[in-house]
Amino acid sequence: MRTLILIGFMGAGKTTVGRALAGQSGTSLTDTDQLIEEMAGMSIVNIFAEKGEAEFRRIETAVLEQLIAADHAAVVSTGGGLPLREENRRLLKKLGTVVYLEVEPETVLKRLEGDTTRPLLQGSNVKEKVEHLLLERGPIYRSAADITVKADGLRVEDIIKELEERMGGSL
């Protein structure tokens, strides 16, 4: 089975869908944020606070390189900003089939209300932050993806069904 990678904005459901996909195929989910926290020995909030976003982005690239070298990941869920680096978009394509879970700002805001774990969405004007980042990132996600699934209002099983259809019946 070719590695399936989920990309998309914070709150798009990458980890939830990834976990379900992995469960369905009897494999396990590889989550880049989780790998980074394990590697760094600290939470993402602390990495951003103590080392900065640029360093976090560099670790994301290192994680992708490791996954390609290890060559055994079945389903990978990624941090929402991972495709921002051009280098990472190239590495994603090398790693496997890239699926973009596209969502509207309203979905993100509903799902992440009160969240304290996303450094980029803290403080005031969260709505404006989400809208701005989504506008900026939309074209990047689309250019990184082999398949785009509009996920607003869809249940996890609907997303998986659509993905199966789009991939010609098999995952």
Residue 130 in contact with ligand S3P, rule: CB under 6 A: no
The CA distance from 34 to 75, in Å, is 14
109 binds ligand S3P (CB under 6 A): no
80 binds ligand S3P (CB under 6 A): yes
Select from 100-108, 115-123, 150-158, 163-171 the region that touches ligand S3P (CB under 6 A): 115-123
Three-class SS of residue 119?
A: helix
- Does position 120 interact with ligand S3P (CB under 6 A)? The reply is yes
Q: Looking at beta carbons, which pairs linking 17-20 to residues 24 or more positions away fall under 8 Å?
A: 17/77, 17/101, 17/151, 17/156, 17/159, 17/160, 18/75, 18/76, 18/77, 19/77, 20/156, 20/157, 20/160
Q: Which positions from 150 through 169 interact with ligand S3P, judged by CB under 6 A? A: none
Give the binding range for ligand S3P (CB under 6 A) out of 17-25, 61-69, 78-86, 163-171. 78-86
CA atoms within 13 A on the CB side of 162: 16
At its nearest, how many Å lie between ligand S3P and the CB of residue 44? 5
- If the CB atoms of residues 1 and 28 are measured against ligand S3P, the closer one turns out to be 28
- Examine residue 108 and tell whether it contacts ligand S3P (CB under 6 A): no
Rounded CA separation 32/107 (Å):
22
Site for ligand S3P in 17-46 (CB under 6 A): 33, 44
Among 18, 79, 96, 105, binds ligand S3P (CB under 6 A): 79
Q: Which is nearer to ligand S3P, 54 or 69 (CB)?
A: 54
Q: Closest Cα to residue 78, out of 152, 140, 123, 129?
A: 140
Structure tokens at 88: 């990472």
